[in-house]
Structure 1
Amino acid sequence: MKIALNPFIAGIPANPLRALFPFAARPGMLNLASGHPSRDAYDHEGLAEALATAGADFPAWTYGPSAGDPLLLAALQEHVAEVPAGHRLLVTSGAQQGIDLAIRTLAPPGATVLVPEPVYPAVLSACAAVGVRAVGYRTDAADAAMAGLAEALAAAPDVRALYALPTFGNPTGETLDQAQRLAMLALCARRSIPIIEDDPYRALWFRAPPPSSLMALAPQVPGAVVIHLGSLSKIISPGLRLGWAIAPDAVAGPMQEARQASDLQPNSLAQRVALHYLRLGRLDAHVVRVRALYAARHDALAGRLAGAGFDVPKVEGGMFVFARMPDEAVRDGLFERAVANGVMFAPGPAFSLRPGDVAFAERMRLCFVGLSDAHVLEAADRLIAVVRG
């Protein structure tokens, strides 16, 4: 029997990163492709204590408010989320749900959402699922006035929102400086276009904190509107699937209604685990330790690859680099040869706006946080050998 599907759902592009999971499960595979923290980047002791305490809480086992557990909302504001006046905080099922809710709330079918290119591919899925057109804009460290964004804004019809990942971006690892952030806010404010600021990597800086968030800078730009998204996945545990959204009251209410239409509320047990972990007072020391781990592994990977002729753009935090292969790289069958040699990377074209496009074919996204110190270097050596053919 042939079943007619909603064309929006049928049009969701396959996520090329999720397709890599089966390869990652192979014995002995060194995975530079997936954005997963290494086992030693979790506070297992603290999480186990928080879980045991949460298990004794009755609210962990029953329904709760759609906006999130009130005690967790208060703890998030105390530890990680500053909520401006006139805004509300919502707990989300990871930052990904925040992206989805913001797009569904702001953009009707047929409208346009601007996204950075190269792009985090799950954003394209969120757009396609509601019939929204994703149009790319380019940024560059030398483009202080954000001319690439201005050009995209001028050319794109019916832009209802702009998605940005301005701090330690995925896949590039790049960070917009303060002048670029203010320029982005001003360009969007002139067109009354809200910005969806995806900011899950902010705490993962190496040597100095990043510039202020777009939400923190927005009061300096009349008319600027920002929906700010954060995540506990990168600083506590991705398995909790918890993040948050901070939005103006006029947007937060409809976002909450949209979430009620799909999953009613965040997971009660996960929220209580997060609450009790935050109450333990271990987060700050844990994040300091993780920063040092990640900085050392970034430096080791980048140094080894650069010595072999890769162009590895400098990043100051986060989890990724978007490395350019040497000109003499043997690209035919590269991913298959890498897998056969026990190492994985995320191919550059996975971050193109158009499925099947060969844009960024000379690049690979490499996650430097998922392997031990020794395995990061071994993975680099395997990758170098494969690229050389």
Structure 2
Amino acid sequence: MTGRRKIAMEPTLTKYEKVMNYIKECIASGEWPVGSKIPSQRKLAELFSVNRSTIVTALEELKADGLLEGVMGKGTIVVNNTWTLLAASPPSDWNEYASVSLPKPSPAAETSEAEQPAHLIELSKGELAQDIFPTDNMQQVMMRLAESLEPFGYEEPKGYLPLRQAISDYMGRQGTEVSPSSILIVSGALQGLQLISAGLLHRGSTVLLEKPSYLYSLHVFQSAGMNLCGLPMDEEGLQAAAISKKAEAGPSSILYTIPCFHNPTGILMSESRRRELLDICEQKQLPVIEDDIYRELWIDSPPPPTLKSLDASGHVLYIGSFSKTLTPGLRIGWIAGPDQVIERLADIKMQTDYGSSSLSQLVAAEWISSGLYEQHLSFVREELKKRRSAALEALNRYMSDLAEWDVPSGGFLIWLRLKANIQVKELNLKAYKEGVLLNPGSIYTGESIQAIRLSYGYASIEEFEQAISKLRKIILDDN
């Protein structure tokens, strides 16, 4: 097994580092899969012409990284081969692209100040309406915290421990068991993606993702020198079979997915599709980023188990956030994954911003641990149910002959697919001049597409209907 692989002989590496790199390459290529026994210390020493103490040093380092484990009676076993491997082999030039990459502006943002309408109905807004914000409860939380407030210092690298414990408990109630030590608090999901791209992935890597996808509206992975590869979707979510055709062996590819109430389509990935996806990722040794920030916005029934909870091999990094459920102003999200990976990301975060806001972390911890958060979610779901019903009624009244759409079972997004051959960019600009702000589908595909992402979570029910009525008039006037 070992004789087939060429030994790297970089002159700048120490002997034990050469051994480590060789083992990592064998794991990354799939030559040594998870659960396999690696060659004995004696064989490795002979292969590299070094003494056994050098081999022992290399193996101890790899065990500390979480890649290997000594098992009584079995020898040294490979125990991980995706995110943990990436954390053990981080890019050396992450500082070159460690700046936050923001979403691309809507074409409406290109309109001059003179043309801006006095009032905008924002069907583009990816957040909840202000009247859903729990003002009274937030005031109570802030007052309780103020009574026992102490001077702030920098939090520990992974974040405020009581918040990580509260998130651990909360995820456990959802069926996803994650220890507080395996959670990193970040300043929103966007920073989580930025840390992953800068600290774990190498230039030239391929990011597999749904097409369309929110990720196309960001520069996070592209600015880090990675390529996006869109995969098709159906009513059950990402078509898992397409992964096999696109994924490359080892950590040269990763998968990014939004399985719950996908942005922008609103699709909920079925449980069977989730299991199929994980089976393929296991076979392909494909690391997965599960962006699950919409999970708690279910309307009809709770979604299937998280990919993280179904993953037995450490392939999934989980991203959660309070931005879509409570308020984006807190700027609190989290990443859950293998300890070694979280340690690596925490180190980079501390070098980037010295940690997320202490006050925001205190507030978030109080919301979860007090039970207020789950009470608030029940209210949010009832509000979204009313808004969804009104939105679908408006669409049926004004757009049934002009477009198609699916009924979302959660979240607040509808993917409107236009039937006629319409210049969506022109439609978007005309709608803007009429006081309606939209997000054209091209933002989520990187290319022209006959689709618009609508949000019914921010504008009022009355405003949503007004906007759809105006949209119909614009389309008919142009045809």
TM-score by length of 2: 0.71
Cα deviation per residue 1:143-172 (whole Å; 9 max; x = unaligned)? 896222222226x99633211111101111
Q: Which amino acid aligns with 1:229?
A: I
Alignment of 1:5-16 (within 5 A): 15-16=104-105
3-state SS of paired residue (2:233): coil
3-state SS of paired residue (1:174): coil
Give the equivalent residue in structure 2 for 1:125: 219
Give the equivalent residue in structure 2 for 1:303: 393
Flag structure 1 segments of 5+ consecutive residues without an equivalent: 1-5
Deviation at 1:257?
1.1
Aligned partner (choices 29, 43, 52) of residue 120 of structure 2: 29
Change in CA separation of 1:201 and 1:255 when aligned onto 2, cut-off 3 Å:
same
Deviation at 1:216?
1.1
C-alpha distance in 2 between matches for 1:173 and 1:216: 22
Q: Which amino acid aligns with 1:175?
A: L
Change in CA separation of 1:199 and 1:168 when aligned onto 2, cut-off 3 Å:
same
Give the equivalent residue in structure 2 for 1:67: 158
Give the equivalent residue in structure 2 for 1:323: 416
Flag structure 2 segments of 5+ consecutive residues without an equivalent: 1-94
Aligned residues of 2:127 and 2:458 also touching (Cα < 8 A): yes
Cα deviation per residue 1:315-362 (whole Å; 9 max; x = unaligned)? 10012111112327575721111011111110011111x3xx21x2x1
C-alpha distance in 1 between matches for 2:299 and 2:440: 25
Cα deviation per residue 1:21-76 (whole Å; 9 max; x = unaligned)? 999x9532110011021011111111112223334454563221121111111222
Cα deviation per residue 1:262-294 (whole Å; 9 max; x = unaligned)? 112111111112122234422222111111111
The more displaced of 378-387 and 34-43 is: 378-387
2:432 is aligned with 1:343: no
Q: Which amino acid aligns with 1:100?
A: Q
C-alpha distance in 1 between matches for 2:230 and 2:354: 32
3-state SS of paired residue (1:262): helix
C-alpha distance in 2 between matches for 1:375 and 1:86: 43
Q: Which amino acid aligns with 1:183?
A: E
**Aligned pair count?**
375
Give the equivalent residue in structure 1 for 2:64: none
Q: CA RMSD in A?
A: 3.0
Alignment of 1:261-340 (within 5 A): 261-307=351-397, 308=399, 309=401, 310-327=403-420, 331=424, 333-340=426-433
C-alpha distance in 1 between matches for 2:428 and 2:333: 32
Give the equivalent residue in structure 1 for 2:34: none
Aligned partner (choices 50, 74, 77) of residue 168 of structure 2: 77
Cα deviation per residue 1:177-226 (whole Å; 9 max; x = unaligned)? 1111111111111121210000001011111111111011113xxx4511
2:304 is aligned with 1:215: no
Higher relative contact order (CA 8 A, sep 6+): 1
Change in CA separation of 1:153 and 1:243 when aligned onto 2, cut-off 3 Å:
same
Give the equivalent residue in structure 1 for 2:476: 388
The more displaced of 293-302 and 122-131 is: 122-131
Aligned residues of 2:232 and 2:239 also touching (Cα < 8 A): no
Q: Which amino acid aligns with 1:252?
A: I
Aligned residues of 1:331 and 1:387 also touching (Cα < 8 A): no
Larger Rg: 2
Deviation at 1:115?
2.0
Give the equivalent residue in structure 2 for 1:3: none
Aligned residues of 1:51 and 1:273 also touching (Cα < 8 A): yes
C-alpha distance in 2 between matches for 1:55 and 1:240: 17
TM-score by length of 1: 0.87
Aligned partner (choices 195, 198, 216) of residue 104 of structure 1: 198
User: Identity across aligned pairs (percent)?
Assistant: 26
Q: Which amino acid aligns with 2:166?
A: A
Deviation at 1:385?
1.9
Give the equivalent residue in structure 2 for 1:186: 279
Change in CA separation of 1:239 and 1:378 when aligned onto 2, cut-off 3 Å:
same
C-alpha distance in 2 between matches for 1:59 and 1:113: 43
